[in-house]
Amino acid sequence: MVSTVARADRESAANEKVNLPRVSQNLQGVKKENLMKPHTKTKGALGQIWRLHLVAAMLLVFATAAFAVPGKSKHGPKAAPDIDNFPVNADGTVSVIIQFRAGTDHGNAMKFAKRLKNHLGLVNGEAVDIPVKLLDKLLESPEVAYVTPDRKNKPAWDDAPQPVNDSIARQNYGVDGTGIGIAVIDSGVYQHDDLQSADMKSSRIVYSESFVPGDPSTNDAYGHGTHVAGILAGNGHDSAGRFFGIAPNANIINLRVLDANGAGSDSQVIAGINRAIQLKNQYNIRVINISLGRPVYESYTLDPLCQAVESAWKAGITVVVSGGNMGRDNSFGEQGYATIEAPGNDPNVITVGAMSPQGTWTRTDDIVSSFSSKGPTLLDHILKPDVMAPGNKITSLLSPGSTLGGLAPASAIIKPTQLTWLCDVFAGQSDCGATSPGPQYLQLSGTSMATPVVAGGAALMIQSNPNITPDTIKARMMKTAWKGYPAHGNTHSRDVRGNDYMSQYDAFTIGAGYLDIQAALGDSTAVNGGATSPTVVFNPLTKTASLVNGLSVVWGQSVVWGQGSLFANSVVWGQLTVDANSLVWGNSVVWGQAGTDACSMVWGQSVVWGQLSDSLNALSDGDPGDQDDSDSTDSGGTITDSESVSAPTGGAL
């Protein structure tokens, strides 16, 4: 049960951080569907963009996105601001999540509900459908602390490899995820050969449950969760070991919360998180992977989804979340800053951004994926993302007959026996040991794909040291992350339309750096306190920022962050100078002029919802990712249009 005491004080304190102009926008006539989506993209021929209009949440693009807007809900301060325009059900009800004050009885308020959908004990709440005309009556109940719409969520995709030193780590430390349970809260997981035991006698998907209303199937009708599971724990069976995951012998706990269109609600995701906590001891669930999300509408201290991931973290489960795919957005001139999505905006969890591996096994030429969302978080100004991992054009498991498999272009579907280079890489046999002639793998891009790379790394760390805590895992990953980014501080990348994007290598773009699993396993830093990501406080007069560690003990220790409120010479950020023009903090778009939309949007205290145009959001659910990830040598586990692959003839196509 999450206490709601002192939330008003926290909100008040947050509102005193920076006094800047607020961005407003006319919302009349704009229809908002707040979908929680996966953060993923699909590879295709140059210039070919296939859209999954139903797949919209944390994917590389949102048809509708949220930024912060001034003012409160017309229903009062206990109602989330986006509830005013949330879609009304056919029977005149609206789907909401009620969070109650600690120690109060739910009964009096529940009498206004028409339908109970879920008990959400994890956040001391209930998911209900309530007649719109009774909403104000509900909010008058003294037991009610806060009411939010039961927002929709979506996934974010891919499979990733060598730059994070996972193969070296597995060899040197003798770890492969054995005995570790990873909860995949996603669209379901298909019983793929690569998720079976090595002897093919049993499945490593040890538990499955659906939280999708009216659909008890735990199979992956959408095709996102299977792809994520492959990055986490695929053993390469159907590709003769060519495509395998970070922790190839870990167990998967399949908690389906997204439907065949990749959509799900907050209450479904919260129910999945709650089940993972309940099953923790039975299946040794030590890691939760959440490759989905939605826009930020209120402080993480009020958001029920953030409260749920915090509960899992406090229960001893390492929660790894995708940061979002809105890094290309420039609606307010913010150049992708302040676009981290929920629940990645929670300071406890490990929030992941995406890198483009450039088709090689070395990391020295890797660049930030242009779509990767940047910090700081809206409203709370938390420094995010925490770490980066490969997320552009990642190859992983295909769920046959799935929505993504059916909509993907032929070039994104990979059939092991079609890959002529397999015979050169492996035993020289005509079939190269590939056991299945049908399509088995799919290439996707997004922070959805980068997230399981980090989650898999966490599983390896836990196997190596079963007593390690989530805070220690986070701190060691951030401390040891690779920081050898381009000396000039920025790179350029292009989408499939040829649009050019510049990425800077500041703290809001790359966090603490590029995940290095080998280095994290070798680190012995003692973490005796929390590891919540710090809050950034901006001074509009000097255009500099400082960090507030809050209740966290870790970030005050010089071994991790260095001395002082600024990370000038810290181990995490590297040897960089901290000021308005430094590589740590990025360019003036964040600091900007105090009266500009970009500065107000990034550092303001309220949220604005706007309709994003295609020109501002080049990546869609079907976007193949950044062009500059050329893989002509097939290094890194992906293939591109330039390679020789026979046209698929069967299976899901």
Question: Known catalytic residues?
Answer: 186, 224, 448
- Burial of 377 by CB count in 10 Å (0-12 exposed, 13-18 middle, 19+ buried)? buried
Q: Which of 252, 253, 236, 255 is nearest to 244 (CA)?
A: 236
Query: Could you give the C-alpha distances from 160 to 515, 573, 578, 613, in angstroms and in order?
Result: 12, 24, 32, 30
Q: Which residues on adjacent β-strands are paired with residue 367?
A: 356
In one-letter notation, the amino acid at residue 618 is A
CB atoms within 10 A of CB 56: 28
Handedness of CA 153, 158, 159, 165 (dihedral sign): negative
Using DSSP, state whether 182 is helix, strand or coil: strand
Contacts of 28 (CB under 8 A, 6+ apart): none
Residue 335, token pair as written in the block: 């150049």
Q: Which of 148, 150, 245 is nearest to 195 (CA)?
A: 245
Contacts of 32 (CB under 8 A, 6+ apart): 64, 66, 82, 85, 86, 609
Instruction: Characterize the bridge pairing of strands 350-356 and 318-322.
Output: parallel
**SS3 sequence, 44-94?**
CCCCCCCCCCCCCCCCCCCCEEEEEECCCCCCCCCECHHHHHCCCCCCCEE
- Burial of 283 by CB count in 10 Å (0-12 exposed, 13-18 middle, 19+ buried)? middle
Q: Are 535 and 382 in contact (CB under 8 A)?
A: yes
CA dist., res. 156 & res. 344, Å (int): 12
- Burial of 378 by CB count in 10 Å (0-12 exposed, 13-18 middle, 19+ buried)? buried
